[in-house]
């Protein structure tokens, strides 16, 4: 893995700082950073890519041996194992959000919110039929209104 042997500021481009970065392999290129002090330092082992213009993108090795510096990649433990699990997770989130919105309007307590979320989730996943309509729900009640 190449090691950085020098970092030299060479100016600015828009809101980014331009840096000439040299490696122990003899290669060098221009890197861009958001601050004058980049997230990598002289002496660090890094991986990098270089385009045809000589611009380099540096990726540092972390404690686990993986490189960082690219796009965000969530950890495996936080990701659902399949599309079905992901869909179920999204449905649960939507059900809970709907229950909370309904509860805010009706001023329900937390237990009622969770019960409504379970009802919404069961209906959205097909575990139960659609809830009764307002007329069907109140058909057998003798309320004065």
Model confidence pLDDT, tens digit, residues 95-115: 778 778 877 777 778 888 788
Q: What is the pLDDT of residue 21?
A: 93
pTM: 0.44
Residue 14 backbone class (left: φ over 0; alpha: ψ -120 to 50; beta: rest) = left
Cα separation, 114 vs 108, in Å, equals 10
CB 91 within 8 A of CB 124: yes
Cα dist from 37 to 8, 9, 16, 31, whole Å: 11, 9, 11, 12
Which residues on neighbouring strands pair with residue 28, listed in sequence order? 22
Q: What is the pLDDT of residue 143?
A: 60
Cα dist from 2 to 12, 28, 37, 45, 91, whole Å: 25, 11, 20, 6, 46
Note the maximum CA span of the chain.
89
CB 38 within 8 A of CB 31: yes
Cα separation, 20 vs 1, in Å, equals 19
Q: What is the pLDDT of residue 74?
A: 47
All residue ranges of the chain with pLDDT < 50 are 70-76
Q: What is the pLDDT of residue 94?
A: 82
Cα separation, 107 vs 119, in Å, equals 18
């Amino acid at each position: 893995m190449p090691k950085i042997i020098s970092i030299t500021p060479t100016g600015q481009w828009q809101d980014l700082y331009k840096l000439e970065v040299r490696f122990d392999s003899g290669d060098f290129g221009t890197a861009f950073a958001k601050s004058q002090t980049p997230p990598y330092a002289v002496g660090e082992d890094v991986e990098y890519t270089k385009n045809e213009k000589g611009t380099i993108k540096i990726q540092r090795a972390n404690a686990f041996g993986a490189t960082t510096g690219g796009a965000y990649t969530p950890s495996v433990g936080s990701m659902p194992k399949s599309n079905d699990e992901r869909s179920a997770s999204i449905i649960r989130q939507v059900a809970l959000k709907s229950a909370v919105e309904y509860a805010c309007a009706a001023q329900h307590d937390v237990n009622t919110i969770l019960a409504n979320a379970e009802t919404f989730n069961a209906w959205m996943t097909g575990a139960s039929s659609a809830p009764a309509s307002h007329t069907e729900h109140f058909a057998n009640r003798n309320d004065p209104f």
